[in-house]
Amino acid sequence: MSETTEPNVGTFTLADPLTTEPTHPVEVPEHEDWQLPNGFAWVFPGEGNRGLVRPVIMADGFNLGRSELDKLYQGLEGDYPFITELRRRGRDVILLGFEERSASILDNARAAEAAIMRAIAEQVGDARLVVGGFSMGGIVTRYALARMERQRMDHRTALYFSYDSPHRGASIPVGVQTFSHFIPFPNAFAKQMDSPAARQMLWRHYDKETGKVGVAPERTEFLDALGRVGSWPQIPVKVAVANGRADGVGLPDVKPGDVALRIDRIYPGTTFYTQAQGDDVTVAYLNRRFPKAEKTVTTNGFPEVDGAPGGTLHTYKILADAMRKLGGTVDLRHEKVCFVPSVSAVAIRDVETQEDLYTPISGLVAEESELDDFFCSPTTTEHTAITAELCTWLMNRLPD
């Protein structure tokens, strides 16, 4: 390690289970490969189908770099064999990937549109499509379908679905976002946090140029673009599932203002705290030796978003593991925090206030959601975790 800089953090990024190396790899069967503008797709025919008969297009989520559809396939076949079950039911599964997952949602929507049009062109019969995606993939396909309708393009889609997608925004602790830029050299983590997709999806973003926390201009521009195409597709039935609970109960162990992670030896004394309400709330103290610098990160008017009901991400565990590999010592007290609040995943409330964020969705009138139907996990699960409950609910709503 150089005496003039902190050690290189390598290539770690904040990734959900569907975009990481599976613990039990599954063999990916033979498939057709489509090359698309800004993306590509793998096609797995349904059992007994000759050609595309009943296509289900499922888009990849957010990370840095090119989609790794082998990992996506394995993630979808892990704890519950989602692809196998879809194919058993005669559905042709089309996994949609992107050349750059962190690119603008507007750009990646081109890949979704191209996949839809190719599926229509190659389809045998007249069954209508199912189109959706996981996490960011649900936002990409939502925009693509809405834009196609605005352009009077027939997408022939009967059902749109999203799987723990941040319709009202996602959350990465701003102390963690800030730390990515506090690292004194270019790194993959900072590139991910500053990417177009991150700026568009995060409800609050740390701006490395101004040092301020707020709504990124790119998010405002994206929401405006979404509004110009009607916000949602109007023709298909719109459904969603959430990895978070519907009863307003958040993560019981994540108390506001707790120490989440402390790092020593490297970045000595750097400490991250779980988000609390109030003004001038300290969420991180950052310290580095070379070049010498320290920074206190504060927020104003935030709800207790880290412990909110929602799909979780192992944010602090991922960061702690990266620091350990560099020779640091860590005091990790909260491995995971809320990433996509339940109210965001089912598009029923915004995430700006404590009251909305912790609203018991089960007590609301379903018509308050922008979706036609939705289902929340009975227990808190990881963001995009593929569970029998969520997958079965979703498959039971597929059109005949």
The pLDDT assigned to 6 comes to 61
Quick check: is 5 in a domain? no
pTM value is: 0.96
| Residue 147 sits in the same domain as residue 266 | no
The pLDDT assigned to 11 comes to 67
The pLDDT assigned to 102 comes to 97
Quick check: is 154 in a domain? yes
The pLDDT assigned to 2 comes to 43
Query: Which range of residues forms the domain containing residue 65?
Result: 17-168+223-248+347-351+357-395
| Residue 52 sits in the same domain as residue 105 | yes
Quick check: is 6 in a domain? no
| Residue 24 sits in the same domain as residue 110 | yes
| Residue 282 sits in the same domain as residue 159 | no
Kindly report the CATH number assigned to the domain that includes residue 164. 3.40.50.1820
Q: How many domains does the chain have?
A: 2
Tell me: the pLDDT tens digits for 343-361? 999 999 999 999 999 999 9
Quick check: is 150 in a domain? yes
| Residue 116 sits in the same domain as residue 155 | yes
The low-confidence residues of the chain, meaning pLDDT below 70, are: 1-11
Quick check: is 367 in a domain? yes
314: buried, middle or exposed (CB in 10 Å: 19+, 13-18, 0-12)?
buried
The pLDDT assigned to 8 comes to 61
188 φ/ψ sector (left φ>0, alpha ψ -120 to 50, else beta): alpha
Q: Are 239 and 394 in contact (CB under 8 A)?
A: yes
| Residue 231 sits in the same domain as residue 327 | no
| Residue 119 sits in the same domain as residue 235 | yes
| Residue 96 sits in the same domain as residue 195 | no
The last residue of one of the domains, among 293, 310, 340, is 340
| Residue 108 sits in the same domain as residue 256 | no
Quick check: is 1 in a domain? no
| Residue 38 sits in the same domain as residue 81 | yes
Quick check: is 96 in a domain? yes
Quick check: is 54 in a domain? yes
| Residue 228 sits in the same domain as residue 188 | no
The pLDDT assigned to 194 comes to 97
The pLDDT assigned to 190 comes to 95
